[in-house]
Each structure stands twice: as structure tokens, then as C-alpha cells.
Amino acid sequence: MTVDLAALKADNLARWQRAAPMRDFSAVARRLAASKARYQVVSAQTGVPWCVIAVIHERESSQSWTASLAQGDRWDRVSVHVPAGRGPFKSWEDAAVDALVRCAPYAARWMDWSIGGALTLLEQYNGLGYARRGVPSPYIWAGTDQYRAGKYVRDGVYDPDVVDKQLGCAGLLLAMRGLDASIVPSNASVPSVPPPSQAMPAPQASIAHPAKGSIGDLVASLVRTVILTFKRS
């Protein structure tokens, strides 16, 4: 069954607008926000907002700096869980860039960082099995009033009575916004930065292309005028 991502974005936005915490997110939110600078290093290389990286880190490994962002395996060894065969890496940051750029759902390629879009990318990161069932994903909504029970206890095995004990990404983002209002303005976009590969460097002034208004620009203009006059004569 194919999931309609546009519909899922709308559903996630609607849930975000009415979501209320049922558990205390504050301590984990403070811990994640305290590492903002480190997440921003990875954000600058991938274009994925730092707060999105932070909540993935929490869900995948309880923010362990010895574990990969991809699946929670140690980054200094070859991974055995899906995605398997990644690494070893030189640092947590290198492993995180690999997870976001080269592993499904290829978060670095995601273009919609509206809150509905960001939550939908996060849901894809964990898998769309919940969306196919038409139920809220605990990866996103655990700990809020948008989620009651239901969890994939292992690959392909869904138990409707199991309650996810981890905190979900949406509640964490809501709590982090209380610490840093720039993270997720209400109903607006999650701030992101373009990866370096997408940024176009400003042209540098040269003899062939002098800066506008400079002496070189004036000389070039005079030369063009002389050449044009010569051609006309």
C-alpha cells in the first residue's frame, strides 16, 4: 500500500496543532538543546535542521554519542542493523552525515521543512507502517495525547496493545521550542540551511569581470566605448 505523503503531511500538521504533552519532555529537551552547536555542524553539511537531527539522535540511541544516527549501532564498527554495512567512521559527525545523505529516507534530499513536512520526514525515518494502518506513529507522537498504544515490536510485527515508552519527536520539538523559539515557529517552517553543494558562491571580482562601480569597471566601460566607436567608423 502506497502512502500519500501529501495527506500524511496534512495529518501531521493537524495533529501538531492540537497536540498536548501527557509526559514530561522538559529534561530531555534541555539535554538536546544543550548540544545545539554539535548538531549544527552536521546541519551545515546536510541541510537538515539541527533540531530534527537532535530528535532523531534521541529516538535512535537516547542521544548516545557512541551510536550512529542511522540505527543506533556503534559508529566505530560496521553496522549490523538496518541500514547494515555502514562504517566504521572517524566520528559521530561523519556517521551522522552518512546517515542523512546516503541512507534511506535520504533526509538531506528532503525539501519540505514546514512542520508538517519535517514530521513526515521523521515518520519516514522510522518507516511508514503506522501510516499504512492509519494510526499515529509513536516515533512522532509518543508521550502526547495524539498517541495511546500500538507499536511494531519487531520488523513486520505490530502489537496494538504495546505502548511506546520513548518520547516522540513531536513532543520533543514542542518542548525544545519552549527553550528556543526559533526552532519551530508555530505552523511555520523548521529553520534549515542549504548544504554546501547547493550553495552558489558569489562571483569574485577580476580583470575580466571587475566589481561594479570600481575603477576597473570604469576602465572596462571606456574600452568598450572605444571599441564600439572603432567598429562603427
Q: Are residues 141 and 123 in the same domain?
A: yes
Quick check: helix, strand or coil at residue 223? helix
Q: What is the pLDDT of residue 173?
A: 96
Q: What is the pLDDT of residue 23?
A: 97
Check whether 231 has a pLDDT greater than 50. Answer: no
Mean pLDDT of 85-96: 97
**pTM of this structure:** 0.80
Q: Are residues 144 and 208 in the same domain?
A: no
For residue 153, give the H/E element and its range. strand 151-154
Q: Which domain holds residue 135?
A: 5-197
Better-predicted residue by pLDDT, 205 or 167: 167
| 148-151 own/partner pairs: CB under 8 Å, 24+ apart | none
Check whether 217 has a pLDDT greater than 80. Answer: no
Q: What is the pLDDT of residue 145?
A: 97
Q: Are residues 225 and 156 in the same domain?
A: no
Q: Are residues 107 and 217 in the same domain?
A: no
Q: Are residues 193 and 118 in the same domain?
A: yes
Mean pLDDT of 62-91: 96
Better-predicted residue by pLDDT, 19 or 230: 19
Q: Are residues 57 and 142 in the same domain?
A: yes
Q: Are residues 36 and 111 in the same domain?
A: yes
Quick check: helix, strand or coil at residue 84? coil
Spell out the alpha helix ranges (H) of the chain.
5-18, 26-33, 36-46, 50-61, 92-102, 115-126, 129-133, 138-141, 169-179, 215-232
Q: Are residues 59 and 99 in the same domain?
A: yes
* Residue 154 amino acid letter: R
